Structure 1
Amino acid sequence: MVTGIILIILTLLRVPSAIVSGRNEARIKAHGGLEFGKTNSRALIVVQFLIYLSTIGYAIVEDVPVGVHTYIGLVVYAFAMAVLIYVIRTLGRFWTFKIYIAKGHQLIETPLFKRVKHPNYYLNMIPEVLSFAIISQGWVVFIPLFVLHLITLFNRIRLEEKVMRKKFRGYK
């Protein structure tokens, strides 16, 4: 039961980022920004939430004990959250859960964004959901959803790349 409670707390720690995203989305829309890949964004959010729910459910039903895997998963989660905070602070008003191009949108070219294309996806989202699998040990419920997560995530990256190349000349 304790492992399930830990996962519930980790899920709730995402609420502030959802609030930031919602505020930024409202501001971008109010100033004429455009959303791209709406269906894919919704699917990605739903699949990620299903990963949270299924791993929490697994941990509770199977009464997964706290162990070394818990601490490893918490380290992975902490890394993912540190990257998320960095990305939110770096992208500022442009950061959302969805793909938006705002009026006056600027290309961010910090060292991390130059070295790792889409650090929010590769260094936050993937490690974050993996941390839930590690902590819950719920691989049987995680793997099918993770496959869906990767499909929607890679489709999102493809869509975002297309939008970025169109918006910013010289974007590679």
Structure 2
Amino acid sequence: MFFLILLLIVIAQRLIELRIAKRNEEWMLQHGAKEYGQNHYFFMVLMHAGFFISLIMEYFFRNHALNAFWPVFLLIFIVAQIARIWVITSLGKYWNTKIIVLPGIKVVKKGPFKYVKHPNYIIVTIELFVIPMIFNLYITATLFLILNQIILKVRIPIEEKALSENTDYTERFD
């Protein structure tokens, strides 16, 4: 039952975030923003959808006992969710699941962005590991930790280039 509740919470959260992202995308495009990295975005979405499929399949086809350290993993997950909300509220209308940049703006350097360049990617990496680890789903935890790093190796340079070419990103983060 705990697995189902956690799964539904995470799925509901992602659906809400997609609605926020769509609203922000429309606002940004109306104000002259440009989208970058469209070629890899499909694979990122596929990876995230695959994560849920793998999570469910491994849960039902393997021993799905709680990890002995599940309270620690759950606490890490909760902290990551708080950090996720902090990222989304710090970026406001600029937060998105896509790389959409509004030329000429000053990059956000408040909230978690005061401390690290890409806090959302750190949060997602943590989530992709700790959610399966709560239930001893080692294959999903390992596989999607690796797949996420591959996506980020493509995505982060595209995002940083787009931000550097269109905003004060380079001077603010040097």
Q: CA deviation at 1:111?
A: 5.7
How far apart, CA to CA, are the structure 2 residues paired with 1:4 and 1:136? 11
Asked if 1:42 is matched to 2:42, the reply is: yes
Corresponding residue for residue 142 of structure 1: 141
Amino acid at match of 2:134: I
Amino acid at match of 1:118: H
The runs of 5 or more residues in structure 2 that have no matched partner are: none
The runs of 5 or more residues in structure 1 that have no matched partner are: none
Q: CA deviation at 1:108?
A: 0.9
Q: Which has the higher contact order (CA 8 A, sep 6+)?
A: 1
How far apart, CA to CA, are the structure 2 residues paired with 1:73 and 1:49? 22
Asked if 1:128 is matched to 2:127, the reply is: yes
Amino acid at match of 1:31: H
Alignment of 1:85-164 (within 5 A): 85-102=85-102, 105-110=105-110, 112-122=112-122, 124-164=123-163
Secondary structure in 1 matching 2:109: coil
How far apart, CA to CA, are the structure 1 residues paired with 2:125 and 2:144? 12
Same amino acid, percent of matched pairs: 25
Secondary structure in 1 matching 2:35: strand
Secondary structure in 2 matching 1:32: coil
How far apart, CA to CA, are the structure 1 residues paired with 2:145 and 2:157? 18
Corresponding residue for residue 11 of structure 1: 11
Deviates more, 1:91-100 or 1:50-59: 50-59
Q: Is the 8 A contact 2:40 2:154 kept in 1?
A: yes
Q: Is the 8 A contact 2:67 2:136 kept in 1?
A: no
Q: CA deviation at 1:149?
A: 1.3
RMSD between aligned alpha carbons? 2.1
Q: CA deviation at 1:144?
A: 2.7
Distance 1:134 1:95, change over 3 A: same
Secondary structure in 2 matching 1:148: helix
Q: CA deviation at 1:19?
A: 1.1
Task: Provide the TM-score with structure 1 as the length reference.
Answer: 0.87
Q: CA deviation at 1:148?
A: 1.7
